[in-house]
Amino acid sequence: RTLLFVAGTRPEVIKLAPLIMALEGHPQFSCVVCASAQHRDLLDAAFAGFGIVPDIDLDIMRAHQTPLGVVAGVLAALEPVLAHHRPVALIVQGDTATAFAAAQAGAYARVPVVHVEAGLRSGDDNEPFPEEFHRRAIAQFAALHFAPTPSARVALLAEGIAADRIHVSGNTGIDALHATAAALARAPAVTALLDSEFAMLGPARRLLLLTIHRRENHGARLASVIAAVRLLAQSDALDIVVPVHPHPAVSAAVQCGLGGVAGVHLVPPLDYPAFIHLLQRAALVLTDSGGVQEEAPAFGVPVLVLRETTERPEGIAAGVARLVGTDTTAIVAGVRALLDAAAAHQRMARASLPYGDGHAAERIVAVLTREYGGKVLVKSA
Ligand code: UDP
């Protein structure tokens, strides 16, 4: 019985890898992993980091691609894959154009669609666009919904999804985080090497980690964030590390606005373990990333979210994340206030795990086995 996984971007791989690995050697299932390559370089690096070699590569990335172009490419390329493999279920994660298109393709092929990280809602129909629209649409195609948190389950129920189709599993991203943090803790030689790569960070200076990539932040909002970073770099004893997202709208503006600024270190996208290591060292995170909002609380690192809304309210309720938006003055004030607070309290509450306990994949495998595993034939003596 084949389970077909489709992933197109870095976070999809990070969040599907724990599930693919938990299914290794499963008596009833064999996994077929399909890369859409929506983001070629980040996707390949993420797969390699988990030692996963995709069985199929749709290779749909094009220069200047649009979300609609990605959707059209995945829909066309996936039809023969589904016809050939006839999977018992097609598994997608999150809210990308790849996940949205793959879910549609599965629905047309009458293959049950399984949605991992279901039920996230920003509460705003139009933002983030097109992710919010993708999530809502995937919920309509999906046969099984793995909600990371109870509030995600409530959102699905409110949209009329049957209660017995929803399972609260925790977020598989937290499984990946725990496994990676544990592996780093067991490998002092690796962390020493990583630290040597970041030797430019002063031990007495506090580390601010910045990631920004979302479509709605391209343009004026990104310029406003860059202005805040320039101010913070001038006036505070901070090291600001920015793994620069390769999207041209991001990388061009960041290189131009922050390149050569003292205290600001622009680096290429980091391997997942290197990023997690740096995250553990950070005093504060500024981000518009979904995954990073989930990861930072696990280390008690406070997060300022560079957005007006979030589909991840749990971190805010737990007091580890705050929506700051993209206004320059608000960001500078928010960073200073948090650094003062963090200095007073050392770190925020460490035991903040609003997104999962690291066992999401096990729960999902149990449900998949029940739903799609078929009967196990036990030979009588
Ligand atoms: N990440 C990484 N290297 C980096 C920056 C982020 O491995 O240089 C990881 C991060 O730990 C998280 C994921 O990438 O798990 C987040 O991806 P991204 O922000 O691109 O997407 P989103 O989560 O917003 O969908």
**Beta strand 89-93 pairing with 56-57:** unpaired
Residues 332 and 365 in one domain: no
Residues 66 and 208 in one domain: no
Q: Residue-wise over 73-95: b if at least 16 C-beta within 10 A, else e?
A: bbbebbeebbeebebbbbbbbbb
Residues 110 and 242 in one domain: no
CA–CA gap between residue 361 and residue 19 (Å, rounded): 5
Residues 156 and 211 in one domain: no
CA–CA gap between residue 338 and residue 354 (Å, rounded): 20
Residue 356 in contact with ligand 1 by CB distance below 6 A: no
ipTM of model: 0.99
**CA of residue 246 to ligand 1 center, whole Å:** 12
pLDDT 10s digits, 220-233: 999 999 999 999 99
Atom of ligand 1 nearest to the CA of 176: 15
Residue 289 in contact with ligand 1 by CB distance below 6 A: yes
CATH number of the domain residue 232 falls in? 3.40.50.2000
Residues 31 and 89 in one domain: yes
Structural contact between residues 320 and 356, judged by C-beta atoms closer than 8 angstroms: no
Q: Which residue's CA lies nearest to atom 19 of ligand 1?
A: 289
Residues 218 and 319 in one domain: yes
Q: Which residues are catalytic?
A: 95, 117, 131, 213, 215, 245
Tokens of 250: 């991001």
- Residue 100 maps to a domain: yes
Residues 93 and 211 in one domain: no
Residues 212 and 332 in one domain: yes
The model's pTM: 0.95
- Residue 184 maps to a domain: no
In the block, residue with structure tokens 């589909």: 311
Query: Which pLDDT does position 348 carry in this prediction?
Result: 52
- Residue 351 maps to a domain: no
Angle between helices 131-141 and 97-108 (to 10 degrees): 20
Query: Which pLDDT does position 340 carry in this prediction?
Result: 83
CA–CA gap between residue 345 and residue 300 (Å, rounded): 11
**CA of residue 184 to ligand 1 center, whole Å:** 18
pLDDT 10s digits, 185-243: 999 999 999 999 999 998 888 999 999 999 999 999 999 999 999 999 997 689 999 99
The residues with which 264 forms a beta bridge, in sequence order, are: 240
* Residue 59 DSSP SS3: coil
Structural contact between residues 241 and 207, judged by C-beta atoms closer than 8 angstroms: yes
Residue 269 in contact with ligand 1 by CB distance below 6 A: yes
Structural contact between residues 50 and 72, judged by C-beta atoms closer than 8 angstroms: no
Residue 275 in contact with ligand 1 by CB distance below 6 A: yes
Residues 159 and 227 in one domain: no
Residue 14 in contact with ligand 1 by CB distance below 6 A: yes
Collect the ranges in the chain with pLDDT lower than 50.
351
Tokens of 357: 């306990």
Query: Which pLDDT does position 122 carry in this prediction?
Result: 95
Asked if residue 188 has a cis previous peptide bond (ω within 30° of 0), the answer is no
Q: Which domain holds residue 219?
A: 190-345
**Beta strand 303-305 pairing with 321-323:** parallel
Q: Which residue's CA lies nearest to atom 2 of ligand 1?
A: 272
3-class secondary structure for 70-84?
HHHHHHHHHHHHHHH
Angle between helices 290-298 and 10-22 (to 10 degrees): 60
Total domains in the chain come to 2
- Residue 163 maps to a domain: yes
**At residue 140, what is the residue type?**
Q
- Residue 200 maps to a domain: yes
- Residue 196 maps to a domain: yes
Residue 97 in contact with ligand 1 by CB distance below 6 A: no
Of 170, 176, 148, the closest CA to residue 276 belongs to 176
- Residue 18 maps to a domain: yes
Atom of ligand 1 nearest to the CA of 131: 25
Residues 158 and 199 in one domain: no
Residues 61 and 199 in one domain: no
- Residue 52 maps to a domain: yes
**CA of residue 211 to ligand 1 center, whole Å:** 8
Phi-psi region of 187 (alpha: psi -120 to 50; beta: other; left: phi over 0): beta
CA–CA gap between residue 359 and residue 209 (Å, rounded): 27
CA–CA gap between residue 166 and residue 128 (Å, rounded): 23
Structural contact between residues 209 and 293, judged by C-beta atoms closer than 8 angstroms: no
* Residue 295 DSSP SS3: helix
Q: Which residue's CA lies nearest to atom 1 of ligand 1?
A: 272
First-to-last C-alpha distance (Å) of the chain: 26
Residue 371's CB is within 10 A of a number of other CB atoms, namely 16
Phi, psi of 334 (to 5 degrees): -65, -45
Q: Which residue's CA lies nearest to atom 25 of ligand 1?
A: 290
Q: Ligand 1 pocket test: which of 265, 289, 295 has the largest number of ligand atoms within 8 Å of its C-beta?
A: 289
In the block, residue with structure tokens 């990335």: 61
CA–CA gap between residue 277 and residue 192 (Å, rounded): 10
Phi-psi region of 55 (alpha: psi -120 to 50; beta: other; left: phi over 0): alpha
**CA of residue 248 to ligand 1 center, whole Å:** 17
Residues 197 and 315 in one domain: yes
